[in-house]
Amino acid sequence: MTGMLLITGGAGFIGSHVVEAALGAGMRVRVLDSLRPDVHPVRPDGWTPTAVCGDAEFLVGDVTDPSVAARAVRGTDAVLHLAAKVGLGVDFSDAPDYMHTNASGTAVLLRAMTRAGVSRFVLASSMVVYGAGVSCDERGRLATPHRTAADLAAGRFEPVSPRTGSPVSPALTGEDDGTDPRNVYAASKLAQEHLAAAWARETGGRAALLRYHNVYGPRMPRDTPYAGVAAIFRSSLAAGRAPQVFEDGGQRRDFVHVRDVAAANLAALAWTQDPRASAPPARAFNIGSGSPRTVGDLADALAGALGGPAPQIAGGYRLGDVRHITASVTRARYELDWRAEIDFADGIRELASTRFRRPVPPP
Instruction: Please tell me what DSSP assigns to residue 160.
Output: B
Do the Cβ atoms of 9 and 33 come closer than 8 Å? yes
Do the Cβ atoms of 69 and 109 come closer than 8 Å? yes
Do the Cβ atoms of 35 and 56 come closer than 8 Å? no
Percentages helix, strand, coil for the chain, rounded to the nearest 5? 35, 20, 45
Strand partners, 38: none
pLDDT recorded at residue 300 = 96
Distance set, CA 320 to CA 88, 132, 146 (Å): 8, 10, 10
pLDDT recorded at residue 361 = 46
pLDDT recorded at residue 45 = 46
Compute the distance between CA of residue 126 and CA of residue 214 in angstroms, rounded to an integer: 9
Residues of the chain with pLDDT under 50: 44-46, 226, 359-363
Q: What is the pLDDT of residues 15-58, one digit of tens each?
A: 999 999 999 999 999 999 998 766 666 554 445 566 667 789 99
* Direct distance between the N- and C-terminal alpha carbons of the chain, in angstroms, rounded to an integer: 32
Do the Cβ atoms of 80 and 17 come closer than 8 Å? no
**Model pTM above 0.85:** yes
Do the Cβ atoms of 363 and 60 come closer than 8 Å? yes
Compute the distance between CA of residue 8 and CA of residue 325 in angstroms, rounded to an integer: 27
Radius of gyration of the chain (CA): 20
pLDDT recorded at residue 356 = 58
pLDDT recorded at residue 2 = 61
Compute the distance between CA of residue 173 and CA of residue 177 in angstroms, rounded to an integer: 6
* Strand (E) or helix (H) holding 67: helix 66-73
Residue whose C-alpha is closest to residue 49's, from 41, 57, 40: 57
Strand partners, 231: none
pLDDT recorded at residue 39 = 66
Sign (positive or negative) of CA dihedral 66, 14, 220, 320: positive
Q: How many helices (H) and strands (E) does the chain have?
A: 12, 18
CATH 3.40.50.720 fits 4-133+173-353, yes or no: yes
| DSSP secondary structure string for all residues of 126-155 | EGGGGTT-EEEETTEEEEPPPPPHHHHHTT
Compute the distance between CA of residue 313 and CA of residue 249 in angstroms, rounded to an integer: 7
Instruction: Please tell me what DSSP assigns to residue 128.
Output: G
Domain boundaries, the chain: 4-133+173-353, 134-172
Compute the distance between CA of residue 238 and CA of residue 306 in angstroms, rounded to an integer: 8
